A and B are shown apart, each in its own frame.
Chain A
């Protein structure tokens, strides 16, 4: 059995397989089963500041505003003190998961306001998170905002959070950066300790019958993995940050590919939602089996051996498909030497 332990964000993990931020991490029982099955760490589902704001205002509108309406009804719902609309339920969940598992637990945060990011980051630190994953998910910024301005805003957030907490901070990115490696370098300067590639988006659809837009979320498929492998291979070659692969890993062999591309950890969500948290053990077996079969003594040994710097054919990472096909017509080096 090869050694699967890894270091991620300065944390020692027994396995590179990590439970990703997903609905699964809402259930302490499921999280515990995943850890029992071998998961090396847990990332909680994201705390969305926007959701909190929405909930607070919804409660204000639909509960607080239905008081003193008429002579009979002083209030239609149990009073304001009956519950809290804030970060507390999330913190309690975090604490519950911390009590249940002995592996690092990361909190995941998606803020909308500069104050919100740091305020909630501190609360998460106090509640015992071992690290923070900042989820920079945003579908569209203000009209007319340039890419540079978006990146500057995001870097400022990361810097503010890093300064506000002592915890290691990793950043979950979208695939849509024009200059990914440069942005990651800036994140490193801002104090981030790692990045996770890539966040997934809701996949809106069109309903032809009713002329509506349909909101939906479909689970990931292995087809989404190559985009991640490509990014990992490039980042692994250019940054010392901890790298996490997230999205598209559905088997131990997928995990092996991510590790070979440079991932320190591989985050799992859809595959566990589909097969259950105990499925981590299956992936771990497949990964270990492959490493063993190839003679790797540890996953650390395999990490990055196919990244942009180390791959036997770096062009394979750098060219798009159609140029690779053209490559086929190009004379081989050996032929050139002969001529």
Chain B
């Protein structure tokens, strides 16, 4: 008797990592979305001392880049260890050189790729095959899977086959759609894995290891006489690979009952129309083909498992001879090609088969593209493909899933076509990133998948906001395996976990007739209906929905869980969706809470369980009236005054309707207008700061600390107050004598504030009779939204007084217009204030090269972007190239700026005789600073006017180039992952130049954007992914390395604690004629504390010596001074007092107090030694340099 199948609910990342880990001895990785999680699983298992199949714990190492990971993999394999890695997209591209080597050396190696779009006109973290296809010439075998089950199984087969066949294997599956989709998987037991691995092949792999006991040489350099022939010597291995794979797949079937082949065909045995594709799309095609065949259509789908080495033999065996037309669908785009890769491969194979007489006739073959960057592929789209195959002359090289009104490539499809059966339960959940909706849904799938006899699928959509992000969970439960690899279009259950979603998008679009709608709202039940926008009411009435409401926030709050409504909403789902009997569901949810949070402690479990019980008592059904009664419609997603592009394009992206936009709506080269974040009023804050002028001391701390430029300060001529609305407050300027007579205002942008509370925290002014009342008081947004919106609108129209005569310092800097505003960064983000300040100081002549990371996401992620312009239309010009090349990218910008300026100067000198000499001299003289730049702009204007009547070619050319006479400030911006790790080589090279570039390192001491992996900036003692037990190596001293060049301006700053020093450092860096680098302490949610305490925590970091402040200015050497000035004093606080207040350190203590104590000592020593070194450096006197020009 066999045991009943025991399923696990997993996503492909976990299922694949679980196999790869057990079959490996060394795992070298580098984080990249969506593959990072495989590495993280491996790291966690290794930290828990989980053994592989051979009883040893795999060594998991995080490298400085994917290039580094590939190098380590190559070395490990050469030295005989079973080795793997996980990557995607740009990471795979960085590995290419080593992959050529590995394949050329016939190395038994299997790696796993969560396939993701390669950055082109834009970066996208989502899934397609453009990365894998870029690797197709490496010689790696390419193995594709389309679901978590297949990914697990083919991972095992990949590891086994490469040992036998020696061709290395790149196994891939679709990023997000498969890597992150949770489904029921039959796990692979150790015994099956062991039986799959051929012991002789394993021994042979080990025997090929480099070993001084039997030395060989590998990696020779070869000449024309030898290279070609030896390259051809691999051919037999490639020729036999498909057969070895098929045998391995057959062996796998013996062990598990699941039979895969190099090509798997599903459909009518006499099929006339067939689609061919790889990855998750094949699952959707499988579902549709079964549907169509059951209706008598002669159709089929050919799933390509093995793309390379391409096996014509196996293709012919799988593809019915009856096929008359064939659509080959590629999930990639190769512009300018005669067809995408799968099409080319398949066409060539079939043509060859005909030439050899293996097939009688060539079917009609067409090529289509679909699914770039995770664009959905639905049965409706695939039906359109099948219908196209039936017409006399089907469209060739079509696209499906979009509307291409530019090249006319797209196939139209009927979006209402739906084949999902009624016995599949479909539920949609709209949640906020931080409310736990996704986590709760994952737990729900696990419960239903593992406790009920139902198949389950969970897919999660996210936007790229860090604060107030939207998540949409798509859950399906049904009696048969679920192959619906696309979003839910018709749902029986829709949960809206925050009422704001009702205002932002059409959340009920997918509501089926009679659907159950669950709404979390803090409004009393009797007021809910009247508060709904008309569109929502109409939809509820039309679809005869049942409406249930709960005050989830209230329940969670009362249970002591803050705004985590996950368990509350989860049990409401179980109560309403009735997938399981409620008492059974309750039992499972309780157990799930205990399992998940048990290690956190009884308090956490008790509070969550209490919330569970309270939730059911608070759930109410609201009868839906027979007609809609509301007059109010949804607020427009963008204001009416927004420009045309924002109305046509941005608005639809904000409303979640981007799929409706045709190709023509988009710029073809990735160039977008800046300054669009101001049109997206997200109203995230529950409470906003309300200014109390009677208490205010006008210090501008509030506007200086704000991460979102959502509280601003201004001095202005009081005459402008005549137009002020009643809600606007101001007071006479009383801080700076030079500004006497002006009016001062602090103004919140109510709908852009995230409610982080930092401004209130740093406000030093207190009402002396009620010290709890500061000059900023938190008040509910709802009470102030309209009035403050009006006040902010007026504030924006106020012309700022000219304050250029007053020296720039931490206060006057805050009066300057921020040209970085309302980004999607986390509430309380510690990076964004630096960028805001940068734009306040240099924004109108600023060019930014931005490394990939958090700052490129909140800086440049659609739908709206935060870099904006001033009244003259000037502002930062911003671009992101890659993660690894940013310093070089910025240097290139500097070179171009210099060349253009030099060209303009040359042209000017050429026509100088025709112009006033004083003007020419002034235009050619060097200068800097905002006053000088303003004067230069006026001179350029004057020049243009003088040239306007001159039609000579040199005058025309100069007018064209004259703006280049105004200096440009080039800033290279990125995080520590870039500056310390992957981009360090380039950064080092750029610093080693004499070019006038400025580098701003936003140092969060961890890879924030990809989820908290350690970087070389991670401080000693902190835990991070890949340093779970606490990092035992000191933080790299990037500043000291930069100082070693001698000509580089270097500063280390911490703005929330010491903004005066930050302002000074940025101004000095800008003035420094050579390269400069400013390393900025950036509090981050990854540090694990409430970021409202970041200013205090930063003070602790400085006081404990963990973050010394300094400025190293090479110019000081000329003045006979030591170049280094320490801006923070000797330590006044023990490092432990800093460390114990952040979870990243504290969890090391909780995990292992003895190790923590040891690491605290080591951190203290490191801080003291660093301090001592700096103190000595601050004393040194260097001889002046002679001119070496």
Q: Which residues of A contact B (CB under 8 A)?
A: 26-28, 52-53, 55-86, 89, 92-93, 96, 119, 210-212
Interface contact B1150-A65, CB-CB below 8 Å: no
Stretch at the interface among B509-517, B725-733, B1084-1092: B1084-1092
Interface contact A70-B597, CB-CB below 8 Å: no
A70's contact among B465, B601, B1025, by CB below 8 Å, is which? Answer: B465
A76's contact among B126, B771, B1085, B1146, by CB below 8 Å, is which? Answer: B1085
Interface contact A76-B1153, CB-CB below 8 Å: no
Interface contact B44-A81, CB-CB below 8 Å: yes
A-B contact pairs, 12 of them (CB 8 A): A64-B604, A65-B564, A68-B437, A68-B442, A70-B469, A71-B464, A72-B464, A73-B1011, A76-B1011, A77-B1088, A81-B48, A82-B47
Closest CB of chain B to A121's CB: distance in Å?
Answer: 15
Q: Which residues of B contact A (CB under 8 A)?
A: 33-34, 36-37, 40, 44, 47-48, 125-126, 176, 433-434, 436-439, 442, 460, 462-466, 469, 471, 560-562, 564, 596-597, 599-604, 607, 764, 766, 768, 771, 857, 1008-1012, 1023-1025, 1028, 1085-1086, 1088-1090, 1143-1144, 1146-1154, 1157
Q: A62-B1089, A65-B434, A68-B438 are in contact. Are A74 and B37 (CB under 8 A)?
A: yes
When chains A and B are docked, how far (Å) is the Cα of A330 from the Cα of B463? 88
What are the residues of chain B within 8 A of A210 when measuring CB–CB? 764, 766
Q: A61-B562, A89-B1153 are in contact. Are A68 and B433 (CB under 8 A)?
A: yes
17 additional A-B pairs beyond A68-B442, A79-B44, beta carbons within 8 Å, are A28-B1154, A59-B1150, A63-B1143, A69-B433, A69-B434, A69-B466, A70-B465, A73-B1012, A74-B37, A76-B1008, A77-B1012, A78-B1023, A81-B44, A81-B48, A82-B1023, A84-B1150, A211-B768
Residue ID in chain A nearest B37 by CB atoms: A74
Interface contact A84-B599, CB-CB below 8 Å: yes
Closest CB of chain B to A80's CB: distance in Å?
Answer: 6
What are the residues of chain B within 8 A of A80 when measuring CB–CB? 596-597, 599-600
Interface contact B1009-A64, CB-CB below 8 Å: no
Interface contact B1143-A58, CB-CB below 8 Å: yes
Closest CB of chain B to A76's CB: distance in Å?
Answer: 4
Interface contact A86-B1153, CB-CB below 8 Å: no
Q: A55-B1150, A59-B1143, A89-B1149 are in contact. Are A78 and B1025 (CB under 8 A)?
A: yes
Closest CB of chain A to B87's CB: distance in Å?
Answer: 15
Interface contact B597-A60, CB-CB below 8 Å: yes
Interface contact B1147-A63, CB-CB below 8 Å: yes
Interface contact B1011-A75, CB-CB below 8 Å: yes
When chains A and B are docked, how far (Å) is the Cα of A126 from the Cα of B857? 52
What are the residues of chain A within 8 A of B562 when measuring CB–CB? 61, 65
What are the residues of chain B within 8 A of A92 when measuring CB–CB? 1153
Q: A58-B1143, A65-B434, A80-B597 are in contact. Are A72 and B560 (CB under 8 A)?
A: no
When chains A and B are docked, how far (Å) is the Cα of A60 from the Cα of B465? 22
Interface contact A85-B47, CB-CB below 8 Å: no
Interface contact B601-A56, CB-CB below 8 Å: yes
When chains A and B are docked, how far (Å) is the Cα of A65 from the Cα of B600? 13
Residue ID in chain A nearest B465 by CB atoms: A70
B1143's contact among A75, A77, A96, by CB below 8 Å, is which? Answer: A77
When chains A and B are docked, how far (Å) is the Cα of A81 from the Cα of B465? 27
Closest CB of chain A to B552's CB: distance in Å?
Answer: 15
Q: A68-B436, A70-B464, A72-B1010 are in contact. Are A53 and B603 (CB under 8 A)?
A: yes
Closest CB of chain A to B327's CB: distance in Å?
Answer: 30
Interface contact B1085-A66, CB-CB below 8 Å: yes
Interface contact A70-B466, CB-CB below 8 Å: yes
Residue ID in chain A nearest B126 by CB atoms: A71
When chains A and B are docked, how far (Å) is the Cα of A70 from the Cα of B470? 8
Closest CB of chain A to B1010's CB: distance in Å?
Answer: 6
Interface contact A211-B771, CB-CB below 8 Å: yes
Closest CB of chain A to B852's CB: distance in Å?
Answer: 11
Closest CB of chain B to A228's CB: distance in Å?
Answer: 30
Closest CB of chain A to B472's CB: distance in Å?
Answer: 11
Q: Which of B442, B469, B1012 has the most CB of A within 10 A?
A: B1012
A78's contact among B126, B442, B1028, by CB below 8 Å, is which? Answer: B1028
When chains A and B are docked, how far (Å) is the Cα of A57 from the Cα of B214? 59
Interface contact A82-B1090, CB-CB below 8 Å: no
What are the residues of chain A within 8 A of B602 when measuring CB–CB? 56, 86, 119
Interface contact B599-A81, CB-CB below 8 Å: yes
When chains A and B are docked, how far (Å) is the Cα of A77 from the Cα of B1085? 9
What are the residues of chain A within 8 A of B764 when measuring CB–CB? 210
When chains A and B are docked, how far (Å) is the Cα of A84 from the Cα of B1153? 12
Interface contact A89-B469, CB-CB below 8 Å: no
What are the residues of chain B within 8 A of A72 when measuring CB–CB? 33-34, 36, 125, 464, 857, 1009-1011
Interface contact A26-B603, CB-CB below 8 Å: no
Interface contact B1153-A26, CB-CB below 8 Å: yes
When chains A and B are docked, how far (Å) is the Cα of A83 from the Cα of B602? 14
What are the residues of chain A within 8 A of B433 when measuring CB–CB? 68-70
What are the residues of chain B within 8 A of A67 when measuring CB–CB? 436, 438-439
Residue ID in chain B nearest A27 by CB atoms: B1157
Interface contact B603-A78, CB-CB below 8 Å: no
Interface contact B1025-A71, CB-CB below 8 Å: no
When chains A and B are docked, how far (Å) is the Cα of A79 from the Cα of B603? 18
Interface contact B601-A71, CB-CB below 8 Å: no
Closest CB of chain B to A94's CB: distance in Å?
Answer: 11
Interface contact B1154-A96, CB-CB below 8 Å: yes
When chains A and B are docked, how far (Å) is the Cα of A77 from the Cα of B1148? 12
When chains A and B are docked, how far (Å) is the Cα of A59 from the Cα of B599? 11
Q: A74-B1011, A80-B599 are in contact. Are A57 and B771 (CB under 8 A)?
A: no
Interface contact B125-A82, CB-CB below 8 Å: no
Q: Which of B771, B1089, B1150 has the most CB of A within 10 A?
A: B1150
Closest CB of chain B to A12's CB: distance in Å?
Answer: 30
**In the complex, the 7 A-B pairs of residues with the closest C-beta atoms, listed nearest first:** A83-B1151, A68-B438, A56-B601, A71-B462, A76-B1012, A73-B1011, A69-B433
Closest CB of chain B to A208's CB: distance in Å?
Answer: 12
Interface contact B766-A211, CB-CB below 8 Å: yes
What are the residues of chain A within 8 A of B597 when measuring CB–CB? 60, 64, 80
When chains A and B are docked, how far (Å) is the Cα of A336 from the Cα of B379? 116
A57's contact among B560, B599, B1152, by CB below 8 Å, is which? Answer: B560
Interface contact B601-A85, CB-CB below 8 Å: yes
What are the residues of chain B within 8 A of A60 when measuring CB–CB? 561, 564, 597, 600, 604
What are the residues of chain A within 8 A of B1024 when measuring CB–CB? 77-78
Residue ID in chain A nearest B824 by CB atoms: A70
When chains A and B are docked, how far (Å) is the Cα of A211 from the Cα of B766? 8
What are the residues of chain A within 8 A of B471 when measuring CB–CB? 68
Q: A56-B600, A60-B600, A61-B562 are in contact. Are A82 and B37 (CB under 8 A)?
A: no
What are the residues of chain B within 8 A of A83 when measuring CB–CB? 599, 1147-1148, 1150-1151
Interface contact A62-B1088, CB-CB below 8 Å: yes
Residue ID in chain B nearest A55 by CB atoms: B1150
When chains A and B are docked, how far (Å) is the Cα of A76 from the Cα of B37? 11
Interface contact A77-B460, CB-CB below 8 Å: no
When chains A and B are docked, how far (Å) is the Cα of A25 from the Cα of B1025? 31
Interface contact A68-B439, CB-CB below 8 Å: yes
Closest CB of chain A to B1140's CB: distance in Å?
Answer: 11
